[in-house]
Structure 1
Amino acid sequence: MPIVRDPLNPKLSMWHFLAFYLRFWREKMDLSLTQCGEIMGVQRGTVSNFEAGRRRPQEDHMRALDKHYGTGWLFQLLLWFARMAHDPDWGRQLVKYEQEAHLIKTYHGQVIPLALQTDEYTWSYVQAGTPKDFEAEMAERVARKKSFFDRGTDVEMWATLDESVLAREVGDPTVMKAQLEHLLAMADLPQVSLRIVPFKSGAHVGVDGPLQVLSLDGRDIAYSGAQNGGRLIETPGEVRELSVMFDRIGAKALSEAGSREIIKRYLESFQ
Structure 2
Amino acid sequence: MTNINALDPGASPLDYYGFELRRHRESAGLTLKQLGGILNYTGSLVGQIETARKVPTPEFSERADAALGTDGMFARLVDLVLRSRLPAWFQQVAELQARAAEIYAFEPQMIHDLLQTKAYARAVLGLIDQDDLEDRTEVRLARQRIFEKNEPPVFWAILSEAALYQEIGGPEVMREQLAHLLSFEGNPRINLQILPFSAGAHAGLTGSFDLYRFASDPAIVYTEGYGSAHPTANPDTVKDCSLRYDHLQAAALSLRDSAELIRRVMEERYGEQRASDGGPVA
User: Aligning the two structures, in what range does the TM-score lie when normalised by the shorter sequence?
Assistant: 0.5 to 0.7
Aligned to 1:188: 186
Matches within 5 A, 1:1-271: 89-130=88-129, 132-146=131-145, 148-151=146-149, 154-218=152-216, 219-269=218-268, 270-271=270-271
C-alpha separation between the residues in 2 aligned to 1:93 and 1:100? 11
C-alpha separation between the residues in 2 aligned to 1:90 and 1:213? 18
TM-score by length of 2: 0.61
Quote the sequence identity (%).
Answer: 31
C-alpha separation between the residues in 2 aligned to 1:119 and 1:228? 22
Query: What is the SS of the residue equivalent to 1:149?
Result: helix
Contact 1:131 1:137 in 2 (8 A): no
Contact 1:153 1:191 in 2 (8 A): no
Aligned residue-pair number: 184
Contact 1:195 1:255 in 2 (8 A): yes
Work out which structure has the larger RCO, using CA pairs closer than 8 Å and 6 or more positions apart in sequence: 1
C-alpha separation between the residues in 2 aligned to 1:251 and 1:227? 30
Once structures 1 and 2 are overlaid, which stretch shifts more, 248-257 or 160-169? 248-257
C-alpha separation between the residues in 1 aligned to 2:204 and 2:150? 28
Contact 1:90 1:231 in 2 (8 A): no
C-alpha separation between the residues in 1 aligned to 2:88 and 2:141? 20
Shift of 1:131: 7.0
Deviation per residue, 1:182-207 (Å, 9 max, x gap): 10012332211111010011011212
Q: Which amino acid aligns with 1:138?
A: T
Contact 2:120 2:169 in 1 (8 A): yes
Once structures 1 and 2 are overlaid, which stretch shifts more, 213-222 or 122-131? 122-131
Give the 3 Å change call, closer, same or farther, for CA 89–239 of structure 1 in structure 2: farther
- Residue ranges of structure 2 left out of the alignment (5+ in a row): 1-10, 12-86, 272-282
Query: What is the SS of the residue equivalent to 1:251?
Result: helix
C-alpha separation between the residues in 1 aligned to 2:190 and 2:130? 30
TM-score by length of 1: 0.63
| Structure 1 residue ranges, 4+ long, deviating more than 4 angstroms after superposition | none
